[in-house]
Amino acid sequence: MDWAYIGRVLPLYGKAAWLTFRTGTAGILLAAAVGLLGAAALRWRVPVIRRIVSAYVEVSRNTPLLVQLFFIYYGLPKIGIRTDPEFCGIAGLAFLGGGYMTEAFRSGIEAVDSLQEESALSLGLTQSQAFIHVILPQAAAVSAPAVMANVVFLMKETSVFSAVSLMDLMFTAKDQIGLYYRTAESLLLLVGAYLMILLPLSMLGTFLERRLRHAGSGT
Amino acid sequence: MKNIRRFFAAALVLALFVSVSVSISGSASADAVYRTLDEILADGTVNIGVFSDKYPFGFVDENGEYQGYDVYFARRIGEDLGVKVNFVSTEAANRVEYLETGKVDIILANFTVTPERAEKVDFALPYMNVALGVVSPDSRVITDLKQLGPEDRVIVISGTTAEDYLIKNNPEITLQKYDTYANAKNALENGNAAAWANDNTEVIAFALENEGYTVGIPSLGSQDTIAPAVSKGNETLLNWLNDEIRALAGEQFFHKDYEETLVAVYGLEYEDSLVLEGGGLTE
């Protein structure tokens, strides 16, 4: 193990970790937004849109991210839509994650008894007030484990970004091995960097699940 | 409590990983991972690492068969050894790794001889000349790297000599790295970068095959050679390959190889500058 080499390339892995974290976080936040909208459309049975959401969930969950990235990065430019690699990575994650998040939120919302909404409405709350103050907190408690699992899953999916020339952690390690043949050092740095990103994330998940359990105590 | 326990579990896994990789890096050279000539002959199959997406050197044709200049030579090696050839598809960045881990016996994937690589693998006699080249769209032909502005990207393939050269000699150029030839070509066609730097054989082929592209820099850096490689220390196989390459000079094998696989792309114009017989040694 060549520690001097590790010290020398550490900034490179720092940059790659930042890219992984930055694109991962942006993609996950967008995916969560898509998921909320999708779940809401399913909940209120919005005509037409509801069917589109169902189809989207099936497509996004049943195609690999690699294929989605290829489509966005190499396919779309053929019809004149050019995207830069980072945008493409984030869009791919949002597309894939949106489907998973829709399902996670949908199951949470469905788990809340319809009596809850009816009671809220009869107490004079408007439909959106009832959704925000009564249904959503309880639904969030139910959805939390699935949502957090999706967050960690999506962060790990960034490892296929090499296909669109994004220098994420995985590609940086592969590139270093290809250039300087430091396999052991590169793999060590790779695992260490992923743990540094993912371990706090999954700990945060455990913490949030515990906190949110209180909100669900009524169900 | 649960979180703390989880943290320790992860720390333990990491520690285990460190110790394993430390011992791997310490012992890699001690244990032979390669198969000697006799073991290959006894097995009846030789594993040869080739490109599957580098036309016209190593690629898969429409029938799913491996073809190309390297593959033609690989088939001949199989014939003369009297064994079956098992083609293993490789990416540029994997070539050293495949030999170090014994996944293949021979790498025949347009592998340029460099001093850094020669520390990790053993090169046989060369069978082809190569230099670096840069191809760019006709709309803006790059004839000098100085023409590249801060906004311009240059495509390279991860783990190639072109990448290594530009990192060392032109660190000011922003590289856009791809892991496969197929992706790099696609990206250039989509206009994602100003130019593509690679072996000049490859960029010349690209410009000849695709309208609208010009090789503005036909030769960059030093003239190098391309050779088969075996795992470090695999002397029996290395010696056999060297004898084979010397013997094939008698029938001008690599000229025939060129005429079978490369002439359709390059014409006869490049034959004498590209092809090396008998390792380039004058008889």
ipTM higher than the 0.90 cut: no
| Nearest CB partner across the interface for B25, out of A174, A184, A195 | A184
Compute the nearest-CA separation of A188 from chain B (Å): 7
In chain B, domain spans: 37-127+227-278, 130-224
* Cβ separation A199–B17 shorter than 8 A: no
Q: With an 8 Å Cβ cutoff, are A178 and B159 in contact?
A: yes
- Cβ atoms < 10 Å from Cβ of B274: 20
Quick check: helix, strand or coil at residue B152? coil
The model's pLDDT over B148-187, given as tens digits with 9 standing for 90+, comes to 999 999 999 999 999 999 999 999 999 999 999 889 999 9
Q: Do the two domains B37-127+227-278 and B130-224 of this chain adopt the same fold?
A: yes
Q: Do A171 and B183 touch (CB under 8 A)?
A: no
Q: Are A77 and B183 an interchain contact pair (Cβ–Cβ within 8 Å)? A: no
Contacts of B3 in chain A (CB under 8 A): 203, 206-207
Q: Is B40 exposed, middle or buried (0-12, 13-18, 19+ CB in 10 A)?
A: buried
Q: A214-217 — which CB contacts under 8 Å span 24+ positions? A: A214/A141, A215/A137, A215/A138, A215/A140, A215/A141, A216/A138, A216/A141, A216/A142
The per-residue pLDDT for range A152-209, each reduced to its tens digit, is: 999 999 999 999 999 999 999 999 998 888 889 999 999 999 999 999 998 998 888 8
pLDDT surpasses 70 at B282: no
CB spacing of B190 vs A77 below 8 angstroms: yes
% helix, strand, coil for chain B, step of 5: 50, 25, 30
Judging contacts by C-beta atoms under 8 Å, the chain A residues touching residue B178 are 162, 165
Strand partners, B224: B130
Token representation of residue A53 = 């959401």
Question: pLDDT category, B31, cuts 50, 70, 90?
Answer: low
β-pair partners for B47: B86
DSSP state letter for B267: -
Residues B133-161: b if buried by 16+ CB within 10 A, e if exposed: bbbbbeeebbeebeebeeebbbbbbbbbb
CB proximity list for B251: less than 8 A, separation 6 or greater: none
Nearest CA in chain A to B94: A178
pLDDT for residue B27 is more than 80:
no
| Residues B127 and B276 sit within 8 Å (Cβ to Cβ) | yes
The mean per-residue pLDDT over the stretch B50-63 comes to: 93
Which of B139-147's residues contact partners 24+ apart within 8 Å by CB, and which partners?
B139/B212, B140/B194, B141/B214, B141/B216, B142/B194, B142/B195, B142/B216, B142/B217, B143/B216, B143/B217, B144/B216, B144/B217, B145/B170, B145/B173, B145/B217, B145/B220
CB A74 within 8 A of CB B190: yes
Which residue, A32, A23, A26, is CA-closest to A143? A32
Structural fold of domain B130-224 = D-Maltodextrin-Binding Protein; domain 2 (3.40.190)
User: Taking the domain B37-127+227-278, which CATH number applies?
Assistant: 3.40.190.10
d(CA A148, CA A162): 25
- A82·B18 Cβ contact <8 A: no
Radius of gyration of chain A measured on its C-alpha atoms? 21
- On whether the CB atoms of residues B128 and B274 are closer than 8 A, the answer is yes
Interface test with A, best of B8, B20, B21 (most A CBs within 10 A): B21
Contacts of A191 in chain B (CB under 8 A): 14, 17
Q: Tell me, rounded to whole angstroms, the distance of Cα A6 from its chain centroid.
A: 30
- The token duo for B181 is 């030839």
Confidence band for B283, pLDDT divided at 50, 70 and 90? very low
Average pLDDT over residues A44-51: 89
A74/B120 Cβ within 8 A: no
For residues B188 and A100, give the distance between their C-alpha atoms in angstroms, rounded to a whole number.
33
Delineate the domains of chain A, giving CATH numbers in brackets.
Answer: 3-218 (1.10.3720.10)
**Element housing B59 (H / E):** strand B58-60
User: What's the token pair of residue B104?
Assistant: 């293949």
Contacts of A85 in chain B (CB under 8 A): 176, 192
Give the pLDDT of residue A72. Answer: 93
How many interchain CB pairs under 8 A, A with B?
Answer: 101
Strands of the B66-67 sheet, one edge to the other: B53-54, B58-60, B66-67
Q: Is A196 on the interface with B (CB under 8 A)?
A: no
pLDDT at residue B28, rounded to an integer? 47
CA distance B166 to B162: 6
pLDDT (tens digit per residue) in A103-129 = 999 999 999 988 998 999 999 999 889
Q: Model confidence over B248-280: pLDDT tens digits?
A: 999 999 999 999 999 988 888 889 889 999 988
SS3 at position B266: helix
A204 shares contact with chain B (CB less than 8 Å): no
Question: Which residues in chain A are contacts of B155 at CB distance < 8 A?
Answer: 165
Of B3, B17, B186, the CB nearest to A191: B17
User: Are the Cβ atoms of A77 and B159 closer than 8 angstroms?
Assistant: no
Write the DSSP assignment of B72-105 as a string of letters. Answer: HHHHHHHHHHTSEEEEEE--GGGHHHHHHTTS-S
Write out pLDDT tens, residues B2-25.
566 766 776 777 677 666 665 555
Tokens of A33: 């937004």
Query: Do β-strands B53-54 and B58-60 pair in parallel, antiparallel, or remain unpaired?
Result: antiparallel
Q: Which site among B17, B96, B111, B177 would you substitute to test the A interface, given the most A Cβ atoms closer than 10 Å to its Cβ?
A: B177
Whole-Å CA distances, B90 to A6, B103, B113: 27, 10, 17
Which residue did the predictor score with more confidence, B31 or A149? A149
Give the C-alpha separation, B174 to B274, whole Å.
Answer: 30
